[in-house]
Amino acid sequence: MKSQPNMEQNKNIGLCANCVNARRIESDRGSMFTMCKLSFVDPRFPKYPQLPVLACDGYAPTDSGPDGATL
């Protein structure tokens, strides 16, 4: 079972913490990455953006907000 990011982790990744276009990836070794799903359809968006993302043209907030964001 994957745990949801806590408030400190959300602050470290910026807007991606509650963006519908972000997906949290965990490697077999336990490393965490944030992938931008917009990168598959628009070359302006990097697949793995440099974090924290503080401004993004593709940002679309989730319904749950930063406390319960699911990446």
The pTM (predicted TM-score) of the whole model is 0.72
The predicted pLDDT at position 71 comes to 47
SS3 at position 33: strand
Query: Which two tokens mark 21?
Result: 């276009």
Under the banding of pLDDT at 50, 70 and 90, the label for residue 12 is: confident
The predicted pLDDT at position 69 comes to 43
List the alpha helices (DSSP H) in 1-71: 7-13
Q: What angle do CA 69, 47, 17 make, to 5 degrees?
A: 15
44 pLDDT exceeds 70?
A: yes
5 pLDDT exceeds 90?
A: no
